[in-house]
A and B are shown apart, each in its own frame.
Chain A
Amino acid sequence: MSGDTGAFAEQGADLELVGISKRFPGFTAIEHLDLTIPAGSFFALLGPSGCGKTTTLRLVAGLEEPTTGRILIGGKDVTNLKPYQRPVNTVFQSYALFPHMTVLENVAFGLRRRKLPDPVGKAHEALRLVELDHLAARRPQQLSGGQQQRVALARALVNRPALLLLDEPLGALDLKLRRQMQLELKTIQEEVGLTFLHVTHDQEEAMTMADTIAVMNKGRIEQMGAPEQLYELPKTAFVANFLGQSNLFTGTVVGTTSAAISVDVAGQSVVVPVARSHRHAGDVTVGVRPEKLSLHSEAPVAGAGRNVIGPARVIDVSFSGVSTQYLIAHPALGTIVVFAQNMAFGPVAHVGEEVWVSWDVEHGFGLEDDPGDSPRFAPDTDTKSIAAQRHAALVTELGEA
């Protein structure tokens, strides 16, 4: 065992992945990944299943070996260290609590292996942090899912690892408990000041908890940044649709000023600020978030800093409490999604009505993707089917209630 695992990490260490790739027989899980996570941050790797995020986590934990590349924790190369030699602990998706030990012994396991003084006292302290000290004598099987998750967290945290890895630990919890645990995790991270690397496919979870999110797709990082930045200025169609929903329109740049570009989208001009577009010439995909759109029953006056698209026909209205989701069919642009705040009683527009949508020029964004490319995202994550899935989920939810 190396010397530095003998003591608690005073603070988190930064993690550096240099040119990592991982090939399994038959497929490549990760392709040349470079990633730096600063010490003390809460970093989320977000992506659909099979995008390589769990493999990345397992590489950091040492449970898989990279095909190429190096892994550095706190500036020290750990690529060739075994998992038990790395200053890293994992909260597993399945929790993996030892069924033959009490909760207390589970938490004390890592301390005992490192022969640290007073393992029982420290384990009790960690259990108090997750408010489960009264269940210390129970077996893990006797706890609820949320309690098991907290024990798993305590078992990892008690070792004060320089880097804590979270592998979708909240996946098995119900919605309400998940929200509660998200807040608790965030609070604990701020309290102990360790570096957290959180892997998830839940974009809301990533946005709520993380300081920095890296969106992963097909073994690569598509975009990395603060949650607001990713949401407001997605770089690719995949990010635009995986992190929330987007209305995307493809057209050719027809006019450029120093402040904005003008894109011809099916005969209608859409203006996007230069600073918010990654491409400024040729074919460009521009987008806008559904909640940024306003509905109009009559053609609004164009110009004055607003983009207008229409007329289009309302094909679906679904009420979800805080907002109403409208699906609007445009003859040339396909389906447009609009989230409207419920400021008035009842829907603003009805199915079959002719409407126009408009949005502030400042709210649009231009993608970096080559519009000619076939979409890199899987078909089940495109705007239309997400809307359809959400609608179906909503209907069943309302049906159950």
Chain B
Amino acid sequence: MAFAAFATTTGPGEEIARRRSPIALLLLLPGILYLILFFLTPLISLVLTSLQAPSETGLPGVYDQAFQWQNYVIVISDYWPHIVRSFGYALIATVLALAFSYPLAYFIGVKARQWPLLQSLLLVLVIAPFFISFLLRTLAWKQLLSDESFVITSLKALSLMAPDAHFTGTPAAVIFGLTYNFIPFMTLPLYTTLERLDLRYLEAGNDLYASPLQVFRKVTIPLSMPGIVAGTLLTFIPAAGDYINASRAFLGGSDTQMIGNVIEANFLILQNYPAAAALSIILMSVILVIVTVYIRRSGTEELL
């Protein structure tokens, strides 16, 4: 008893001492330095750039530091269709990727449990596209869906497409590209939650008078919510900022430009750095707000 009493009085003191140990700080140091160097510094630089004003010398691409908040007003009024389009395309692509990935992940994670070999094989197939650069894959789709391609000529021969219609350069092509490129990012988190899904909950639902469809809606979907949230975020965030699929060199056209393309053009071609920086900050803030609201609303904290 005496020993126990002694131990409880010294215990917390030791705990605090251990938490303040310099080794922990030392181990954190590389990470902190990395974040300062590669996240915080560029972020501050980006904010500063977004407030710069054109140089009084009048030289193109030269800007002086100022507090020109009007930059934000200008880019929003100039580029609001691109901003809306970006989030619209990203939303549609996310929904399509979810609709395609959920059955796929369910099959791999639940139905294929009894055949581990098949499960691994299917997972490899999901990841396999990563072995080839996504630029090459997107270019390949441009070829596959070009006006002279087998797919498009067949569709036209079957009168499913107007003879003078195109597929590449349309919003549908950009959304197709986004969906295709982000399906693995949707499938993998869905797979990890569905793989752990305890089928006894489904049996219990079935036993409690829920039809298979009701079990899916009331039990399977809520229990796989962490995977759905992770997958949709991993798809929506990069898709909203994507500038490859919508670019004219790939699947996009002149009226499918997304915010990423605008930022790229302002930075690299127009050399309008403040506009590009302001657009980047806007993109980042809107995504932050959307994601925060989404996570709060989906209520997945307690399942994690």
Contacts and interface: CB of A to CB of B under 8 A. Distances in A.
A89 B209 CA distance: 9
Interface string B193-227: 00000101101111111110010001100110100
B303 interface: yes
B302 interface: yes
B209 A1 contact: yes
Given A98-B219, A100-B223, A5 B209 contact: yes
B204 A92 contact: yes
Interface stretch (A107-115, A170-178, A275-283, A314-322): A107-115
Interface in A80-111: 82-84, 88-90, 92, 94, 96-100, 109-110
Nearest to B225: A100
Contacts of B219: 98
A205 to B, nearest CB: 22
Give the 9 A-B CB pairs with smallest separation, nearest first: A96-B204, A110-B208, A113-B209, A100-B222, A83-B206, A96-B200, A113-B210, A90-B207, A84-B209
A94 B200 contact: yes
A110 B209 contact: yes
B205 A109 contact: yes
Contact of A113 (B198, B208, B223, B302): B208
A61 B207 contact: yes
Given A1-B211, A84-B206, A94-B200, 10 more contacts: A5-B209, A62-B206, A82-B211, A89-B208, A90-B207, A100-B222, A109-B210, A109-B218, A113-B211, A113-B214
Contacts of A109: 205, 208, 210, 218
A119 to B, nearest CB: 12
Given A98-B219, A100-B222, A139-B302, A114 B209 contact: yes
Question: Which one of A63, A100, A114, A159 has the greatest number of beta carbons of chain B within 10 Å?
Answer: A100
A92 to B, nearest CB: 6
A313 interface: no
A137 B42 CA distance: 47
B209 A88 contact: no
Nearest to B218: A109
Contacts of A92: 200, 203-204
Interface of B: 198, 200-201, 203-211, 214, 218-219, 222-223, 225, 302-303
Contacts of A83: 203, 206-207
B207 to A, nearest CB: 5
Contacts of B206: 62-63, 82-84
19 contacts: A63-B206, A84-B206, A84-B207, A84-B209, A88-B207, A90-B207, A96-B198, A96-B200, A96-B201, A97-B204, A98-B204, A98-B205, A99-B201, A99-B223, A100-B222, A109-B210, A113-B209, A139-B302, A155-B208
A159 B208 contact: yes
A88 B201 CA distance: 16
Nearest to B201: A96
Nearest to A105: B218
A71 B206 CA distance: 18
Contacts of B204: 90, 92, 96-98
Contact of B203 (A1, A63, A139): A63
Contacts of A98: 201, 204-205, 219, 222-223
B108 to A, nearest CB: 22
Interface string A34-61: 0000000000000000000000000001
Interface in A152-176: 155, 159
B125 to A, nearest CB: 27
A96 B203 contact: yes
Interface string A317-344: 0000000000000000000000000000
Contacts of B225: 100
B200 to A, nearest CB: 4
B210 to A, nearest CB: 5
Contacts of A90: 204, 207
Nearest to B210: A113
Nearest to A86: B207
Contacts of B302: 100, 139
A94 B225 CA distance: 22
Question: Which one of A5, A62, A94, A113 has the greatest number of beta carbons of chain B within 10 Å?
Answer: A113
A99 B198 CA distance: 11
B152 to A, nearest CB: 46
A92 B207 CA distance: 10
A90 B205 CA distance: 10
A84 B218 CA distance: 14
A131 to B, nearest CB: 22
B179 to A, nearest CB: 29
Nearest to A141: B302
A89 B207 contact: yes
Nearest to A165: B207
A61 B198 CA distance: 18
Nearest to B222: A100
A1 B91 CA distance: 37
A109 B217 CA distance: 13
A100 B222 CA distance: 7
A89 B219 CA distance: 17
Interface string A57-81: 0000111000000000000000000
A43 to B, nearest CB: 19
B257 to A, nearest CB: 42
Contacts of B222: 98, 100
A383 to B, nearest CB: 37
Nearest to A100: B222
Contacts of A100: 222-223, 225, 302-303
Nearest to B219: A98
A84 to B, nearest CB: 5
A97 B201 CA distance: 7
A59 to B, nearest CB: 13
A114 B205 CA distance: 12
